[in-house]
Amino acid sequence: MLAIALLAACGGPGGAANDRSGPASPTPSAAPSATAQARGTAHLGAAPTTRAPASTPVFRAGNPAGKAAVPAEARPVDTSRPTRVVGNGTPQSCTSKAVVAAVAAGGIITFSCGPDPVTITMTQTAKVKNANGPRVVLDGGGKVTLSGGGRHRILYMNTCDRAQGWTTSHCDNQDHPQLTVQNLTFADGNSTGEETDGGGGGAIFARGGRLKVINSRFVNNRCDRTGPDLGGAAVRALNQYQSRPVYVVSSTFEKGSCSNGGALSSIGVSWVILNSVFRNNDAVGRGANPAKSGTPGGGSGGAIYCDGDTFTVRIAGSVIENNHANEGGGAIFFVSNDRTGTMRIESSTLRRNRSDGFETEGLPGIFFLGARRPSISR
């Protein structure tokens, strides 16, 4: 009962500070991030007609009441001197083709799409080329939504995909590319039918290098509805460099749906999740993992699905609410196969996360198998 009391009470006095259940808009409204045109900056779109002003974004995702400290390596990237800019100051110049070209070229990427929020509907997935970078940063300035249109995965990085180029002899443990997305909305991504490395990742698939998500929203993303270990309607992560964590900071995940992990999914990957919100996500598979006889498998981790051997998960200053799993862990599914993995939950609120099949006694919405019981603190 102690664990239940902590889970229900974390996140501020009486939990009231975090009780903000209204849906996030898939199209953010804010001033652009700094996009001063440094010498040599490439514009992708029509010839440039305007210089985007430098300003501070006011778009905010995540849990505004979250007070978890953010380490230096998890903070936003300075994008005031971009390598390339998508668009020339008009909405019409911000196209799927321009985004695809910018991501393939790498570097620091910003957007100049006019003064109002804009949605760019992707007609194909933007893919990171492993030889370019080594940093690939997408900064939407709080005004850009990248939409998969319900048909396409939005963003893909895979150091072990020969089609994107091999740059080392150890593709499953290399320090580049380093992909950061910040001040963006990812909506209506769909990776259904994508089979490379097990699929998943309706909005973002990232294998190898490093991944960081900052001040971003993920809304209505999808991946395959069945499969015992497939997951991540928003993000699927594999093989991060030297087992360093994926950082998720001040971000919101809503209305995602996948076999497992209605928001996040990984195998053998560590996570640090700070000041973020997971709401109304769904793990819709049936039969769990390994799949029960006569079922396709899946259905665990309504918001977060983590499997593998040695890995860690830290969640701080966050709200996880109203998520659902057909099988185990309406909020979080955590299985360390060799029982070395650990999980910490700090100053966070977990509530109304329904597990139709199973969860760990005393941990509502969580199924956990690891080195020791999760550490839970205010």
Non-local CB neighbours of 306 within 8 Å, separated by 6+ positions: 264, 265, 266, 269, 271, 313, 332, 333, 334, 335, 341
Q: Does some domain include residue 88?
A: yes
| Mean pLDDT, residues 227-240 taken together | 97
Between residues 44 and 23, the one the model is more confident about: 44
> In this structure, what token pair is assigned to residue 296?
């396709």
172: pLDDT strictly greater than 50: yes
> In this structure, what token pair is assigned to residue 205?
């698939």
21: pLDDT strictly greater than 60: no
pLDDT of residue 325: 98
Instruction: Label residue 32 by pLDDT band (50, 70, 90).
Output: very low
Q: Does some domain include residue 285?
A: yes
> In this structure, what token pair is assigned to residue 63?
């849990």
CA 325 to the chain's CA centroid: 19
Instruction: Label residue 3 by pLDDT band (50, 70, 90).
Output: very low
Q: Does some domain include residue 19?
A: no
Q: Of 9-13, 230-234, 329-333, which gets the smallest average pLDDT?
A: 9-13
Instruction: Label residue 266 by pLDDT band (50, 70, 90).
Output: very high
The proportion of the chain whose per-residue pLDDT surpasses 70, expressed as a percent, equals 85
Instruction: Label residue 136 by pLDDT band (50, 70, 90).
Output: very high
pLDDT of residue 30: 41
- Tell me the per-residue pLDDT of 108-123, one tens digit each, with 9 for 90 and over: 999 999 999 999 999 9
DSSP notation for 189-213: -B-TT--GGG---SSEEEESSEEEE
pLDDT of residue 42: 72
Query: From residue 82, how far is each of 24, 48, 78 by CA, in Å?
Result: 28, 14, 9
pLDDT of residue 196: 94
pLDDT of residue 43: 72
Non-local CB neighbours of 71 within 8 Å, separated by 6+ positions: none
Kindly report the pTM of this predicted structure: 0.88
Instruction: Label residue 5 by pLDDT band (50, 70, 90).
Output: very low
Q: Which of 60, 26, 249, 251 is nearest to 150 (CA)?
A: 26
Residue range of the domain that includes 363: 2-12+24-377
Q: Does some domain include residue 184?
A: yes
Q: Does some domain include residue 346?
A: yes
- Tell me the per-residue pLDDT of 40-85, one tens digit each, with 9 for 90 and over: 567 776 444 334 444 445 688 999 999 999 999 999 999 999 999 9
Q: Does some domain include residue 18?
A: no
CA atoms within 13 A on the CB side of 351: 17
Q: Does some domain include residue 17?
A: no
160: pLDDT strictly greater than 60: yes
pLDDT of residue 51: 42
| Mean pLDDT, residues 281-287 taken together | 98
The proportion of the chain whose per-residue pLDDT surpasses 90, expressed as a percent, equals 84
Query: From residue 236, how far is each of 229, 246, 362, 364 by CA, in Å?
Result: 11, 11, 28, 24
CA 111 to the chain's CA centroid: 20
Question: How many domains, the chain?
Answer: 1
Q: Does some domain include residue 337?
A: yes
Neighbours of 350 (CB within 10 A): 28
